[in-house]
Amino acid sequence: MSVKEQLDKKKLPKHVAIIMDGNGRWARKRGNARVFGHQQGVKSVREVTEAAAELGLKFLTLYAFSTENWSRPKTEVDALMSLLVSTISSETKTLMDNNVKLKTIGCKENLPGDVRDKLTACMDQTKDNDGLTLVLALSYSSRWEIVEGVKKIASDVLDGKLNVDQVNADIFSHYLETSYMPDPELLIRTSGELRISNFLLWQIAYSELYFCNVLWPDFRKEHFFKALLDFQGRERRFGKISDQVKK
């Protein structure tokens, strides 16, 4: 039986988040420039998006560019931005064919104009698709998002729209970029690094973490299904004891 066939279709997560890591190392191992790794990484993005859509997942969030990534060499940043523009253009039809809606989280104002324009056009074109929502984290970091959320709450309190006593974890979640999504049940990081790197810190409070050694450009549907199978073998207790969650 294939890994996909072994999956319990009734116990799939609604939301999977991925830290796509290892593009640079993949390219260097082949004696190529880092940007070559990013180009190859687009194929893996297509694979996981298709796999997630096939399985009927509701949300797939990909860490495509962090706030900290702005400090990479300008040539690499520029190459990543033009890769985004060309990928969005070439993949919009695939998103439509697979009933996928595109969304982003992160500081859009920091992105170059052409990237913003392409994203806006693609989000607009795919907005009525009701299958998978593909969320690209762009110029995103969790600490930035949390600070922005705190600022919005403070402003609503000052404007008398919100009472300080009303603020709780649920209300706070509504002030984050991810307000319309359930928290990810599963977070995957490729390339063997065991870090979270400022990604969805609030939202992964109870997520299952899955680390694998595969470098992102080598990540295929089979690897994704394997991570989901591993997830299905875990017992999620949310602070309770085993007997309580088995009931």
47 φ, ψ (degrees, to nearest 5): -60, -50
Query: Which listed residue (69, 110, 198, 218) is catalytic?
Result: 69
Binding status of residue 20 toward ligand FPP by CB under 6 A: yes
Interface size with ligand FPP, residues (CB under 6 A): 19
| Three-state secondary structure of the chain | CCHHHHCCHHHCCCEEEEECCCHHHHHHHCCCCHHHHHHHHHHHHHHHHHHHHHHCCCEEEEEEEEHHHHHCCHHHHHHHHHHHHHHHHHHHHHHHHCCCEEEEECCHHHCCHHHHHHHHHHHHHCCCCCCCEEEEEEEECHHHHHHHHHHHHHHHHHCCCCCHHHCCHHHHHCCCCCCCCCCCCEEEECCCCCCCCCCCCCCCCCCEEEECCCCHHHCCHHHHHHHHHHHHCCCCCCCCCHHHHHC
| Minimum gap (Å) between residue 109 Cβ and ligand FPP | 19
Say whether 69 is catalytic.
Answer: yes
Among 25, 58, 152, 221, binds ligand FPP (CB under 6 A): 25
The least distance separating ligand FPP from the CB of residue 97, rounded to whole angstroms, comes to: 17
- Quick note: the x/- pattern for ligand FPP over 72-111, rule CB under 6 A, is -----------xx--x------------------------
Sole window of 35-43, 152-160, 163-171, 175-183 interacting with ligand FPP (rule: CB under 6 A)? 35-43
Closest distance of CB 115 from ligand FPP, Å: 10
The reply to whether 243 belongs to the active site is: no
Contact track, ligand FPP, 115-144, x by CB under 6 A? ---------------------x--------
Residue 107 has phi, psi (to 5 degrees) of: -90, 90
Question: Which of 38, 101, 103, 226 is the binder for ligand FPP (CB under 6 A)?
Answer: 38
The encoded tokens of residue 21 equal 């890591």
Which residues between 214 and 233 bind ligand FPP (CB under 6 A)? 216
Rounded Cα distance between 6 and 66, Å, is: 34
**30 C-beta neighbours (distance < 10 Å), count:** 12
Part of the chain binding ligand FPP (CB under 6 A), chosen from 62-70, 103-111, 172-180, 234-242: 62-70
Binding residue for ligand FPP (CB under 6 A) from 13, 24, 106, 149? 24
Residue placing its CB nearer to ligand FPP in the complex, 12 or 62: 62
64 interacts with ligand FPP by CB under 6 A: yes
Binds ligand FPP (CB under 6 A): choice among 13, 16, 18, 21 = 21
Q: How far is CA 123 from CA 61, 96, 136, 143, 167, in A?
A: 15, 11, 11, 25, 31
Active site residues: 21, 69
| Binding site residues, ligand FPP, CB under 6 A | 20-25, 38, 41-42, 45, 62, 64, 69, 83-84, 87, 136, 191, 216
